[in-house]
Amino acid sequence: MDQITDRDGLKLAELLDCVQDAPDQGRFEVARRIFADPAIFELEMRNIFESTWVYLAHESQIPNANDFVAARIGRKPVLVTRGEDGQVHAFLNSCSHRGAELTSSKRGNKRTLTCPYHGWVYDSSGHCVNVDAQPRGGYTDYFTGLSHDLAKVKVGVYRGFVFGSLNEAVEPLAQYLGGSAAVIDAMADQSPDGLELIRGGIRYTCRANWKMQLENIDGYHFFPVHTSYIGLILERQKKATNALKTIDPTQMASLPGGSYQFENGHSMDWGLMPNGDDRPLGFQRERITRQFGPDKARWMIDAVRNLVVFPNLLLMDQSSSTVRIVHPLSVDQTLIEVYCVAPKGEPKAARERRLRQFEDFLGPAGLATPDDQAVMEACQRGFMASRRPYLQGHFRGMTHVTAGADDNARAIGLAPQFSGSDIDDETFTHTQYRQWLRLMTQAD
């Protein structure tokens, strides 16, 4: 097969040319085109978002029977529900009759969902329980033999995180997560009762390609982009006593850090911080150390961690703890959902600090999110401004990369494919773009 085409006729050779992956030559280049070409974006929706596992929701958002929460797979609306049977279900939010969305609500609790157009009714497991009375409907035998249920989405749940796929043949979720599952474990293990997403999620749009969100976990951009926040921290340190306790980034550059590349495009970076006891989990250091030992406790409390679960989930355990969901809307526009995530049953003082730290840095009125969106949108505008086909943004740290686990990973039980030795390295993106290329060039 020498050509893979979507409706715009993209050739296989064009796609292969988008990622130049030659580490033996010291080369890893990504084409500007993949951030700005509408034809590539359309193929991404089919070959990536509609073919693999996509993060949908957290079980804490649907604790009771008949709870539902809205989600997305690419541009397709999805409902995630807790059925009467207590099981998690997902289906496309589109009536089988004329295709209308069943609800525009973000979340709720309903034993049945009624289509607003013609009144077809579905239960919380997606089964159609009422069309209209026959024989008055005059339906044919063919229609009667059809399934009127909602289109199911394959569901997988790991440690409370709910993923969905439109591909029935997709690999098991645990296999897909690979080594990144151990990073999720370190977050979920913060409480014996698991995690909960705190009510009051944030939604905003960014005028930049969705893949920019996945790249933006690098430590390299922190000091150039977030100078206002760093200045604020320095001022707070002068006043000390009643100032909000936050991560002290001024000493992090001299502390250990690095990055890991896992299977299937998942990656993370990490860095030790000097004041772990000022983080919410620091309130539980004694319990965490007793339960998991000093190495794992240090990793859970004193290390900031940013995990990308390809293609649309970021778990950011740093200033507060955050679940960030990436929804592509078009080649140059992305919808982002952000939730503060917390261990269930944490001390009241820890919960208060978690919320204040979330508002301070990662919320829409905080000092991180607006800065990040501004520079990502600047990148998007700049993608059209150069005759050079490739970006030079994926080289930093290539001489630091080692195959397999480094000493830190071995000490805490991680099994990455590759390890990097600096939080400022950009090599964590390599696994993202290798997975991107694999999925984009797969046969139909």
DSSP calls for 147-195: --SPPB-EEEEETTEEEEES-TTPPPHHHHHTTHHHHHHHHHTTSTT-E
Specify whether the CB–CB gap between 313 and 321 falls below 8 A: no
Number of domains in the chain: 2
In this predicted structure, the answer to whether residue 141 has a pLDDT above a threshold of 50 is: yes
192 and 133 in a common domain = no
Note the pLDDT of residue 200: 86
421 and 347 in a common domain = yes
Token pair for residue 371?
Answer: 């800065």
Instruction: Encode pLDDT of 335-358 as tens digits.
Output: 999 999 999 999 999 999 999 888
Contacts of 169 (CB under 8 A, 6+ apart): none
The residue among 159, 186, 220 that closes a domain is: 159
Which of 303, 288, 57, 266 has its CA nearest to residue 178?
Answer: 266
CATH code (residue 141): 2.102.10.10
Q: How confident is the model at residue 8 (pLDDT cuts 50, 70, 90)?
A: low
Which of 73, 52, 422 has its CA nearest to residue 259?
Answer: 422
347 and 223 in a common domain = yes
Instruction: Encode pLDDT of 245-280 as tens digits.
Output: 777 777 777 788 999 999 999 999 999 988 888 899
Q: Is residue 390 part of a domain?
A: yes
Residue type, 183: V
283 and 238 in a common domain = yes
Specify whether the CB–CB gap between 402 and 419 falls below 8 A: yes
142 and 191 in a common domain = no
Which percentage of the chain shows pLDDT scores above 70? 95
Please give the residue range of the domain that contains residue 147: 54-159
Q: Is residue 238 part of a domain?
A: yes
198 and 154 in a common domain = no
Alpha helices in 178-284 (DSSP H): 180-188, 211-215, 222-225, 227-239
Alpha-carbon span 143 to 279, nearest angstrom: 59
Residue type, 77: P
CA dihedral defined by 182, 310, 392, 369, rounded to 10 degrees? -90
Specify whether the CB–CB gap between 31 and 389 falls below 8 A: yes
pTM of the model: 0.94
Specify whether the CB–CB gap between 195 and 158 falls below 8 A: no
Contacts of 298 (CB under 8 A, 6+ apart): 272, 276
Helices (H) and strands (E) in the chain, counts: 14, 22
Determine the straight-line distance between the first and last CA of the chain, rounded to whole angstroms.
Answer: 11
Instruction: Encode pLDDT of 68-82 as tens digits.
Output: 999 999 999 999 999
Q: How many CB atoms lie within 10 A of CB 182?
A: 17
Q: Is residue 5 part of a domain?
A: no
Q: Is residue 27 part of a domain?
A: no
224 and 140 in a common domain = no
Note the pLDDT of residue 388: 87
Alpha-carbon span 353 to 277, nearest angstrom: 11
